[in-house]
Structure 1
């Protein structure tokens, strides 16, 4: 066959495309277990971060196994249900009605007391935001929080993933003095809110800040019956 012919060029190009596609497919298949493991480790790092434990990719699994003493799923009535809390997809659960959701709970033992860790999932300005928030055993006082995002603007909405922003949540209350679930207000400079429920919004990141406020409020509300049972 003439190597300068159009037919030869077409066949050669087709073979190369098929060959490259096959190589990429095999590579993706072989890398999938490593990618899944990395996702698992990152999730454990985030859960630990919500209780103010900084873990590396190297030691996250060991620290997680030592500190996370229990995990389970509850429903909106606060009752235990079957399932693995670690593998719950919060994006899928958030798409369901509250009464149909699986609500994961992780218990962390620190200094002789249990901290309760709850996952969060919501929407920012440009895409999903998520995180974990931990409560003291009074089921009211925030022990720690960590947040992340998919595509918020660097220097603006992306600041939710910084320790400066997240540290504001420590010691805040989610219930008011009457026992009503008040949650947290991510307040702009001209917005007032009770000090025990207020954190400062990100300057220039109002939509992301309010998206995070809504995420916390909605997700904590789903656990209200669980909180009442534990109090």
Structure 2
């Protein structure tokens, strides 16, 4: 036995650790690490187990927003059943034609944006989205006779603090706006977040995208432009940069880099 060791002295690192004072540095660090590991395991298990519920809620929220922007939602209705009236189509933006390359029911628009084979990096990028998918899932709503009633087009772009994600509903003539709605953003409450205000959203109903010569004229601004009131939406009070962002993203998506080829064919009755 060594000179410094008595019969009661714990042997080995584990023994010395167990015999150490509860306030020792070693035990304090051990407890902290153990708590972190247990907490991270609980969070990971919860995240994995709740993922199906989160995905289902995300899908329902998307369907709800499509119903609302199309003006068919009623409180208490079965969202999934009502959404079944909308026909999803995968649209090739450059040609304005529907693509049969993908299944519209399973096409992942978000994943397509990150896929270099299915997207492009934008040089002219007024909506500040960085990359744009070559394909987008849009939704067709038909009336009881089977004739096209509205098309619901997804849109996104940067405001003041965040990317705004939403839908714009266009009448069957490819020019008249029925409604606009954002379902995700991080704009300032009471200012930029007023994009959610029903009174402001109602301003979009009946506005026209293009003038008689086919030029895109829709504008979100403080003052009405020379194109006239049918193309003007008042900017949000106290939220200039968010309003500019909405103006940029709507003009981007309704323009040649977005849905303009599709809208031209819609107006010409080619779809």
Which bin holds the TM-score, normalised by the shorter protein?
A: 0.7 to 0.9
Cα-Cα RMSD: 2.6
Where in structure 1 are there 5+ consecutive unaligned residues? none
Describe the SS at the equivalent of 1:116: strand
Higher helix proportion (structure 1 or 2): 1
Instruction: Give the corresponding residue for 1:139.
Output: 174
Q: Residues 30-179 of structure 1 correspond to what in structure 2 (within 5 A)?
A: 30-54=49-73, 59-65=78-84, 67-81=85-99, 82-85=101-104, 87-89=108-110, 92=113, 96-97=121-122, 101-110=134-143, 112=145, 113-179=148-214
Structure with the bigger RCO (C-alpha within 8 Å, sep 6+) is: 1
In 2, Cα distance between equivalents of 1:80 and 1:178: 26
Higher Cα radius of gyration: 2
Describe the SS at the equivalent of 1:169: coil
Deviation at 1:168, TM superposition (A): 0.7
Gap change, CA 1:58 and 1:137, over 3 Å in 2: closer
In 2, Cα distance between equivalents of 1:100 and 1:159: 28
Gap change, CA 1:108 and 1:190, over 3 Å in 2: closer
Where in structure 2 are there 5+ consecutive unaligned residues? 1-17, 123-130
**Aligned: 1:196 with 2:230:** yes
In 2, Cα distance between equivalents of 1:102 and 1:120: 13
Deviation at 1:48, TM superposition (A): 1.3
TM-score for the superposition, normalised by structure 1: 0.88
TM-score for the superposition, normalised by structure 2: 0.76
Instruction: Give the corresponding residue for 1:226.
Output: 262
